Structure formats: C-alpha cells, structure tokens
Amino acid sequence: MAGRWKNDLNWSDVTPRAEFLNRRQLLAGVGALAVGGIAGPALAKIDAVKTNYGRGLEPNSYEDITSYCNFYEFGTGKDDPSRNAGRMKTMPWSVRIDGLVDKPGNYGIEDIVHGVTMEERIYRFRCVEAWSMVVPWVGFELADLLNRVGVQPSAKYVAFETLLRPSEMPGVGSRVLEWPYREGLRIDEAMNPLTLMATGIYGEELPNQNGAPLRLVVPWKYGFKSIKSIVRITLTDKQPPTSWNMANAREYGFYSNVNPEVDHPRWSQATERRIGGGLFSAREDTLMFNGYGDEVAGLYAGMDLRKNF
C-alpha cells in the first residue's frame, strides 16, 4: 500500500493487477490505445492526487465503474447505460462555449484537450441515492479550460448541457427528466481545483456509459451534478436551471453538496453503501462534503446549508 500514493503513481499501481493486465491485452487487440490521439501522451505519467482524501482509498474495479451507471438518456436501470450507450457517436465531438467569455465558439474535443495537464484523481464519488464508489479519473481542471476561453468578470455561474440525440438515446423518449440534461455550478465552485473535466478512467478513454468524451466531476457534490457527455458550456450571470431541480425542487437543490445532516425527503443521507462491497458489507458513514471539507467548506462560509441544499 505505502508506495501507492507517491508522486510517481502510474496505472499499474492503482489498478487491481490482474484486471490491468487483462484490459491491456484486450485493448492491444482492438486498437483502443488509439486514445493516444486524444489523451494518450499525457497519460503516460500521472501526477499525484491533489487531495489527501484519496489516500488509502481502494478504487472500485473497472467492471463496477462501467457497469453500474446512471445515464438516463440510455434508460433508468443501472445496467441500461452499459448496454445502450455504445450507439452514441462521440467522434467528431465539439463543445459550444458561449455566454460571458472572451473567446466563445465551437471547440473540437481535440482542441479542448490539446496541451492540458492530464492527471489522475482518485475521488470518492457519492450518488444522491446513498451509494458510493471510488473512481480513478483521468482529467484536467475545469479552471484550465475556463481560463483559456477567458471568463468575463460579470460571469457568476457556469451552465452545462449534455448531448441530446434521440436517434442514439433510447431513454429520452421518457419524460423522467427534461432534456437535454442540464447542470450548473457557481463560478467559484467551477474554478475550485478539485473540479475536474474527466476524459478517462483507469488510464483509458471514458466509456460512453460514463460520459464520453468529456464529463464533469465535482467530488464534494452528489453524483447528479457530474454531468456527462457535455456539448455546451455557458457562462452566465444568473443561476441556471438544472435538470433534477426542475424535475423536483423539493428533493434536489441547486447546490447538492454531500451533507449527512440534511436528509433527502425520502431517505437518510447519513450513510452510504459502497458499490462492490458485497451484499452484507457494512454501510459507511457519509462525510460532510464527501470528505473534501478542507478544500471546499470555505466556499459556503456563512451560508445556511439546510436552506441551500
């Protein structure tokens, strides 16, 4: 264990060994290492996690992370995304960046990832449904991207939208949410160094079901804030509408910070079940801000987190 969390982490150190070898063999066969075109070179050497909280956390298996998913555009069952998301075309992919920015435009995914510092970040990921996983993401700080396009001083929020392409998304015929899936962050949350744009897991390109080719990861917030397959990023001076809040404002607030003291109206948020832990594994206590309080509690100083849930 001890050597795992040094600055010279690489994938074989953090991936359960058999699985790592297994996948490499598989991938070598199908040429999936062509991910090199996008994120490859930067993946060869991975920086250490930026928060001490990742220390000692054992990542969930690749299998858990890619087969137990929420991506309602492909169905509401946990295994629907892994079965259905393969039909989503992720190449070519562009992201429209607009609103209160100096350099608005349609940016190809190649341009977005070009020259950024890709890192591994091992984050605990807590879903609002009271389960959690530990995921070795690959990604870069959202702040990097925002700084490159130039955020204007009047921008107070960032709004995100997921692809909406009904011909490839069997779930969007359902009215369970309003499409496209939308999320938002306050600008200081977006600029926080913990906030990632993820392009991969376990050193490989994101599988579609996890939000290829580009998704948000906000580790101190419930999972639904981590919007997948992003096609639009808008800087705005108004708090943007968000899908789960529009669907049920009483149950899902704009902030959605992980908070064991504020229950969901229909269940407790005090504990969580770690996916992959087995049927009889003990529930774990949920930590304030999902354990990232040292890094982010200051963002909410003076705010009533029961009101701003």
Ligand X SMILES: Nc1nc2c(c(=O)[nH]1)N[C@H]1C(S)=C(S)[C@@H](COP(=O)(O)O)O[C@H]1N2
Q: Which of 224, 254, 292, 300 binds Mo ion (CB under 5 A)?
A: 224
Q: How far is the CB of 146 from ligand X (least distance, A)?
A: 20
Residue 71 DSSP class: -
Distance of CA 97 to the CA centre of its chain: 19
Find the length of the chain.
309
Instruction: Return the SS3 of 246.
Output: helix
Contact 185, 158 (CB under 8 A): yes
Angle (CA) 167 231 114, round 5°: 125
223 is a contact residue toward Mo ion (CB under 5 A): yes
Strand partners, 136: 122
Which value, in Å, is the radius of gyration of the alpha carbons in the chain?
18
Stretch that binds Mo ion, among 59-67, 162-170, 179-187, 219-227 (CB under 5 A): 219-227
For strands 131-141 and 271-274, give the pairing.
Answer: parallel
Shortest distance in whole angstroms from residue 216 CB to Mo ion: 13
> What residues line the site for ligand X (CB under 6 A)?
69-73, 127, 162, 181, 210, 223-224, 226-229
Instruction: Tell me which of Mo ion, ligand X, none is bound by residue 73, counting a contact when its beta carbon lies within the kind-specific cut-off of 5 to 8 angstroms.
Output: ligand X
User: Which of helix, strand or coil describes residue 7?
Assistant: coil
Q: How far is the CB of 151 from Mo ion (least distance, A)?
A: 28
Q: Which two tokens stand for residue 152?
A: 């204007």
Tell me, residue by residue from 53 to 82, as one string, x for binding to Mo ion by CB under 5 A and - for no binding: -----------------x------------
Residue 72 near which of Mo ion, ligand X, none (CB within 5-8 Å, type-dependent): ligand X
Least CB distance to ligand X at residue 273 (A): 13
Residues of the shown chain interacting with Mo ion in the complex, contacts defined by CB under 5 A: 70, 127-128, 223-224
